Amino acid sequence: MARQDYGAMRNMCRLVHERYGVMTKRITLPNHPKSDEEILDLYAEKITEKTKLILISHIVNINGQVLPVKKICDMAHERGVEVMVDGAHAFAHLDFKISDLNCDYYGTSLHKWLSAPLGAGFLYVKKEKVEKLWPLMAENVMPMDNIDRLGHTGTKPVHVDLAIANAIDYHNAIGSKRKEERLRYLKDYWTNKVKDNPNIIINTPWDAERSCAIANVNIRLMSPNQLAKSLMDDYNIWTVAINRPNVRGCRITPNVFTSTKELDTFVQALTEMASKVKVAPAALPVE
The model's pTM is 0.92
Query: Cβ contacts of residue 99 below 8 Å, gap of 6+?
Result: none
Q: How far apart are CA 218 and CA 241, in angstroms?
A: 9
Which domains, and CATH codes, for the chain?
Answer: 7-171 (3.40.640.10), 178-278 (3.90.1150.10)
Amino acid at 170: Y
Burial environment of residue 254 by CB neighbours within 10 A (0 to 12, 13 to 18, 19 or more): buried
- Contact in structure between 118 and 111 (CB atoms under 8 Å): yes
As a whole number of angstroms, the distance between CA 179 and CA 152 comes to 33
Q: How many H helices and E strands in the chain? A: 7, 8
Mean pLDDT, residues 41-58 taken together: 97
Query: Integer distance in angstroms from the first to the last C-alpha of the chain?
Result: 23
Residue 241 CA to residue 249 CA, distance in Å, equals: 6
Q: What is the pLDDT of residues 167-224, one digit of tens each?
A: 999 999 999 999 999 999 999 999 999 999 999 999 999 999 999 999 999 999 999 9
How many Å apart are CA 62 and CA 216, to the nearest integer? 7
Average model confidence (pLDDT) for the chain? 94
